Amino acid sequence: MIYLKLTLTALLWGGTFIAGRILAKDTPPFTAAFGRFGFALLALAPILARRRDLCPKDAASFALAALLGATGVFGYNAFFFWGLKTVDAGRAALIVACNPVAITVFSAMIFGERLRPAALAGVAACLAGAAVVVSRGDVRALLAGAIGPGEAAIFGCVACWTSYTLIGKRAMESMSPLAAVTLGCAFGAAFLLPPALGEGMPGLLPGFAARQWLALAYLGACGTTLGFIWYYQGIAAIGPARSGVFLNLVPVSAVFMGGLILGEKTDPSLLAGAALVLGGVWLTNRYRVGK
C-alpha cells in the first residue's frame, strides 16, 4: 500500500505542474500559493476533526514544524509559481526531478553514508541532464551564465524540497505524518499571508476565473493534502531516499500532461535531458550506499 500511495503521489504531483502553469499565467505567486494552502487546510478539516494527536509536546517539534512550513510551503511555492510564469510545465518538472539526487547526496552527508562510484556517476548524469534541459540543448550558453530567472526559481524548488524532506525525517520522530503536514501547512500559510496581502489578494479573488479556482482546488486537495500525507507516510515507512525514487514519475507524467492539456512541445533537448536526469536518478539510488 505504501508503494501504491507513493506512485499515486507522483502522478498527482505531475498534475501540479499543469495546474500551476495555468494559475501562474495570471495570478501573483504569493496569492496563488496562499490559495493553494487555504484549500489544503479546508480539505484537511474533516480529518483533523477526528484526530487528537496533532499537537506536538515540546518546543523543538513546533520549531521543526515551522521549518517545514518555511521550506516545503513558503519557499517551495513562492519559487514554484514564480518559475512557472515563464518555464513550461514539463521542463520545470524535469528540473525538479533532480530532487531525489539532491536528497540522496545530502542524506549521505548528514547521516554519514558513503556513495559508491556508480552513484556519483549518477549525480553527474543528473546534473548534465538538468543543464541540457535548462539551456534547451545549448550548454555553452549555460556555461556563459545564460540562465533565466524562471529556471533559477525552479532550482530554488529543488533546494526547498530537499530541505523539507530531510527536516521531515527528523520531525516524524516526534509527530505523525498527518501532524507534520497539518502544522507545516498552517505555518506555511501564515508565512505566505503577509506577502499575499501585499499583492492585493482580497481585491483579486472576486475576479478569479473558473480555471483559477479549479487549479487552486486541485493543488490544495490533491497535490497538497493527499500528496503530502502519502509522501510523509512513505518517508516514515521506507525512508527519504527510497521514497524519493518515486519522484521519477513526476516529470514523466508532467511532460505527458503538458503536451496533452497545454499543447507544450517536446523538443530533442527535453528528451535528451530527461534521459540523463532519470538515468542519473536511477544510478544514484540504485548504488547510493557503499560498503
DSSP 45-96: HHHHTT----S-SSHHHHHHHHHHIIIIIIIHHHHHHHHTTTS-HHHHHHHH
User: Is 46 inside a domain boundary?
Assistant: yes
User: Is 271 inside a domain boundary?
Assistant: yes
For 198-245, what is each residue's pLDDT tens digit?
999 999 999 999 999 999 999 998 988 888 788 878 877 887 667 766
When pLDDT is averaged across residues 78-100 and rounded to a whole number, the result is: 86
* Percent residues over pLDDT 90 in the chain: 28
- For residue 192 the three cell numbers come to 505566505
User: Is 61 inside a domain boundary?
Assistant: yes
At residue 52, the pLDDT reads 64
Q: Which of 51-60, 124-133, 260-269 is the least confident region?
A: 51-60
Q: How confident is the model at residue 160 (pLDDT cuts 50, 70, 90)?
A: very high
Which residues are CB-neighbours of 21 under 8 A, at least 6 positions away?
84, 88, 89, 92, 258, 262
At residue 130, the pLDDT reads 78
When pLDDT is averaged across residues 125-138 and rounded to a whole number, the result is: 76
- For residue 170 the three cell numbers come to 527528523
User: Is 153 inside a domain boundary?
Assistant: yes
User: Is 291 inside a domain boundary?
Assistant: no
Contact 15, 223 (CB under 8 A): yes
**DSSP state for residue 112 in the 8-state scheme:** T
At residue 291, the pLDDT reads 44
Q: How far lies 139's CA from each of 7, 86, 94, 103, 123, in Å?
A: 32, 19, 16, 25, 17
User: Is 35 inside a domain boundary?
Assistant: yes
* Predicted structure pTM score: 0.81
Other beta carbons less than 10 A from residue 240's beta carbon: 21
Q: Three-state DSSP class for 114?
A: coil
Q: How confident is the model at residue 144 (pLDDT cuts 50, 70, 90)?
A: low
User: Is 259 inside a domain boundary?
Assistant: yes
Q: Which of 21-35, 79-93, 165-179, 233-247 is the least confident region?
A: 233-247
At residue 173, the pLDDT reads 80
For 280, the domain range is 2-286
At residue 41, the pLDDT reads 84
At residue 92, the pLDDT reads 87
For 172-183, what is each residue's pLDDT tens digit?
788 877 778 788
Count of structural domains, the chain: 1
User: Is 33 inside a domain boundary?
Assistant: yes
Mean residue pLDDT across the chain? 83
Is residue 141 over pLDDT 80?
A: no
For 30-73, what is each residue's pLDDT tens digit?
999 999 988 888 887 777 667 666 666 778 888 999 999 999 99
Of residues 136 and 6, more confidently modeled: 6
